[in-house]
Structure formats: C-alpha cells, structure tokens
Amino acid sequence: MAEIDWDLLRARAVEAASFAHCPYSGLQVGAAALCDDGRIVTGCNVENASYGLGLCAECTLVGQLRLTGGGRLVAVACRSGSGELLMPCGRCRQVIYEFGGRECLVDTARGPLPMTEVLLDAFGPEDLP
Ligand code: THU
C-alpha cells in the first residue's frame, strides 16, 4: 500500500461534510477513509427530527464502504464543514474498529494514531465465540 495522503483524506472529509443534513445541531461532519484496495469512501452526518436517530458521518461512511465493494479501512479522517479536526465519538470508534481493526489509523490532534490507541482494549469480532 502506497503512502497515505492525509491531506487528500482531510479534504475529502471536509467536502463530504458539505452534504450533511444537520438542522438540529448545526454541525456539519464529514468522514473520509482510505480502503485497502486504494479507493476512498466518505460519509456525512444525517440527523433526524427524532433526535436520537441521527446518523454519524462514520456510520454513513461504512454504509458506503459496503455498498461500493467492501474491504477494510486503512486510514480515517473526520472534519467539520469548516475544516476543524473532529474525533469520532465513542460509538463511531467501535464502528471503525469493526471494519478497520487494530491497525487502522485515525487522524487526531496528535497526528495519525492506530485504533489500538484510539479505542483502548477494544471489544471486537475476535472476542465472539
Ligand atoms: N457526529 C458525527 O457525525 N460523528 C461523530 O463521531 C461525532 C458526532 C455528529 C452527530 C450529530 O449530527 C452532530 O455531529 C452533533 O453531535
């Protein structure tokens, strides 16, 4: 796998955020991920009048991952519509872990970090009987 183009991933995340449906929070969120076959998948948050039903950007991203060929997440960047770095919420860290595992890198304020540091002592598919 070639070098990860983090600037491209961040730019694609900001672009994805522009498609957000966020009339309730007002926070546009975009996520972009490099997949193990080299393609980039993206997602945006999609809120709902029934507030708790809103979808995070990472959730719609994994939907796109599955819909466009599956595979594994190698590197993930999340950004607001104005370009601020955002960390995936706790639930979304678990969602990323399902499709990226321990080695998947996540963009953080401290630079790209593996999921082993972003979701400590994770529960995952390997823990199921
Ligand atoms: N949000 C995401 O899309 N991803 C996260 O990891 C954190 C939060 C969205 C959910 C909601 O639409 C808005 O940000 C404010 O919480």
Comparing CA positions, the residue from 60, 56, 63, 74 lying closest to residue 112 is: 74
Atom of ligand 1 nearest to the CA of 54: 12
Q: Is 71 helix (H, G, I), strand (E, B) or coil?
A: coil
Instruction: Identify the three-state secondary structure at position 31.
Output: strand
* Mean predicted lDDT score pLDDT of the chain: 98
Which residues form ligand 1's pocket by a CB distance below 6 Å?
A: 22, 25, 27, 29, 45, 47, 54, 56-58, 88-89, 92
Q: How confident is the model at residue 1 (pLDDT cuts 50, 70, 90)?
A: low
Query: Span 18-35, mean pLDDT?
Result: 99
Q: For 48-71, what is the mean pLDDT?
A: 98
pLDDT the model gives residue 56: 98
Give the chain's domains with CATH numbers: 6-127 (3.40.140.10)
User: Quick check: 114 and 101 in contact, CB under 8 A?
Assistant: no
For 93-121, what is each residue's pLDDT tens digit? Answer: 999 999 999 999 999 999 999 999 999 99
Percent over 90 (pLDDT), the chain = 98
Catalytic residue chosen out of the listed positions 3, 15, 47, 58:
58
pTM of the predicted structure, to 2 decimals: 0.97
Confidence at 55, pLDDT banded by 50, 70, 90? very high
